[in-house]
A = this chain, B = another copy of it.
């Protein structure tokens, strides 16, 4: 497939007059989501009421949409299911993975992981007690730290601040060689670049849908379990929809077959409707094309910014193969600079303490926008337009 990016661009609504380089935080509205969500509200909930669970296919939606995401991340049909938030899915994957390596007690992660993953691991470790521990090392030290003490290697493939990308295949192989399992967080990977979970032999993976998958604010997360673990992994969050027979209402929990057991409670149908609509873009887009185009855009942005803004230092790896689909620069006044950029209609985001982060999302962003963003940034830096008290006063930033 050679992706027609003009066609994918037409699938999204973007407000006039802005350059949106924050789709790695919240993807924009897919035009089809308007109708799809309205139908879920009016035609399904409104007219079918309780019967929507069967007649509108609500009950199976987490699996159907999971399969659509599976195609982007190298997961076979029936190995991905939607639900909950990413933090919950991290807990769930991690708890199951730990139980599969009962003789070990160490979760290994890195300081570049998204903090919520570390917080959830910390909460799980506290609940488990009995010597369980979370060990974090610097991202570049992960490989050397994989040893025979590690039960589970828990990593986010692409660093949310710098865009640094781990080598999933190599680290997974290393973990397996050491007798450990892996939990991969694909928050900044799914929809951004090709992932090959099955090919890498990944054990568990989780991710969110509101970034590069454009499901809207608070869209549900996904979880993948390798088929070899799917019928043995025991869910710690053992909710009724993961039961073998939810509607038998047995008093005892018996995990459902395969990925079904990773379901917990009632799925969020309105959010899933939006996600399902958003996934239509992938019917005409090839993730390899998206990756290639993202690299073109990112390289152009880096070149243009570095040429014009020597005071900004590149925080992302220079090698595009070692980056995800974002580019970050550092500056001590990063917060104020981002406020000035937003005031000029260029939306990126700031990550403490000093990171300016720009996401490149070829489904709806092209070279013209990238050049405009770089030029606006250059103008702001040259004129010190960021140097205003109101830009420096920090509000809560998302």
- The copy count of this chain in the complex is 2
| A295 CB, min distance to chain B CBs, angstroms | 23
A126 and B236 contact, Cβ closer than 8 Å, known pairs A41-B34, A49-B26, A398-B53: yes
Structural contact, B49 and A87, CB atoms closer than 8 A? no
* A210 part of interface (Cβ distance < 8 Å): yes
A84-B85, A116-B241, A126-B234 given; name 15 further pairs at CB < 8 Å: A15-B46, A15-B47, A22-B49, A53-B217, A59-B396, A83-B85, A88-B265, A122-B253, A126-B236, A127-B127, A127-B128, A216-B269, A217-B269, A218-B266, A218-B269
Cβ-defined partner of A128 (8 Å) among B129, B253, B271: B129
State the 10 A-B residue pairs at the shortest beta-carbon distance, nearest first: A85-B265, A116-B240, A123-B238, A218-B268, A87-B239, A217-B269, A53-B398, A87-B265, A29-B46, A119-B253
The CA-CA distance from A241 to B93 in the complex, in Å, is: 20
The CA-CA distance from A13 to B43 in the complex, in Å, is: 11
| A38 CB, min distance to chain B CBs, angstroms | 6
Structural contact, B218 and A267, CB atoms closer than 8 A? yes
* A243 part of interface (Cβ distance < 8 Å): yes
Q: Which residues of A contact B (CB under 8 A)?
A: 13, 15, 18, 20, 22, 25-26, 28-29, 33-34, 37-38, 40-42, 44-47, 49-54, 58-59, 83-88, 91, 95, 111, 114-116, 118-120, 122-124, 126-130, 136, 161, 208, 210, 216-221, 234-241, 243, 247-253, 264-272, 274, 342, 347, 349, 351-352, 395-398
B contact residues around A235 at 8 Å (CB): 123
B contact residues around A42 at 8 Å (CB): 29, 34
Structural contact, A271 and B271, CB atoms closer than 8 A? yes
Structural contact, A50 and B34, CB atoms closer than 8 A? no
| A378 CB, min distance to chain B CBs, angstroms | 23
The CA-CA distance from A46 to B52 in the complex, in Å, is: 27
The CA-CA distance from A53 to B85 in the complex, in Å, is: 17
When C-beta atoms are compared, the residue in chain B nearest to A274 turns out to be B270
The CA-CA distance from A126 to B128 in the complex, in Å, is: 9
Q: Can you list 27 A-B contacts with CB-CB less than 8 angstroms, sorted by A residue number?
A: A13-B46, A18-B49, A25-B50, A28-B49, A29-B42, A29-B45, A34-B41, A41-B216, A50-B347, A84-B85, A85-B266, A87-B240, A87-B265, A111-B251, A115-B250, A118-B251, A119-B243, A122-B238, A123-B238, A126-B234, A128-B128, A217-B267, A218-B267, A221-B265, A268-B270, A270-B274, A271-B271
Task: Output the residue of A37, A45, A216 with the most chain B CB within 10 A.
Answer: A45
